[in-house]
Amino acid sequence: ALMAKERCRLAVLDCDIYKNFPPGSTDGDAQYYGEILAHYLAGGFGVEDPDFEVEQFHVNSETPEFPKVSDFDAFAIPGSKSDVGDGDAWIEPLAELVREIVRQKKKLLGVCYGHQLICHALGGSQGPQPPFIFGVERLVMTSPSERWFGSGTSNLVMFKSHGCQVISPPPGAVILASTPRTPVEMFAIGDDVLSMQGHPEFTLPLMEVLMPRIPGNKVTTDLKLDEKTDSERLRLALRCFLLNQPPP
């Protein structure tokens, strides 16, 4: 009999409750940013994905749950309403976990808040992003980005929703993408860390739910919501990164 292929054990380190969606809405009953990201990358928690086995850890609760790094192959840190600079009690233990993930050479994906947290944990700096960026933005890719996204990728289009940004990336980081207002849209460190400010996992209905919560007087007015994004292309590339495969 053929041996079953070992699936990638992916830990999603959830940093925030998102909201209770009404039943039957496009995003089902997702309550956490991490559920949205897990659903996007690997079909969700407890779903029979051929390549991934996904587990969720609530790292920002009163009693944070942290995984044992050696039990997993890959880690993802999604978005959050928190700001790395807020000094929440769970931020430094999470930063230490990030450093341990890097020491053990596990795959690490950061998205939005995760991007800023990884930067902070590994010695870079992050800070405010005035105005709040909300809408679809076209990223200008650098040539090193081809390693993760395939040759000839000059732009990637994704949803953005952030009031903070990476100011200077950590030592050893290579910048993979930028926009005029956010020079460090994406960075990589070696083979194992890939981090981005945008939300490849977001959808238009999700952005429409978020929109009323954004401070209206401090938000970008030049970005559209209904432009087509490179969501599927990004999804395949991120799966390949986590699985240690060449880009699609």
**Catalytic positions, written as ranges:** 112, 199, 201
**Residues in contact with 46: Cβ distance below 8 Å, sequence separation at least 6, in sequence order:** 54
Residue 53, CA distances (Å) to 21, 202, 243 in order: 25, 21, 12
CB-CB contact of 177 with 186 (8 Å)? yes
Q: Assess contact for 233 and 248: CB atoms under 8 A.
A: yes
C-alpha pair distances (Å), 116 with each of 46, 54, 111, 201, 240: 28, 23, 8, 17, 22
219 — phi, psi (to 5°)?
Answer: -115, 155
Q: How far is CA 145 from the centre of its chain?
A: 16
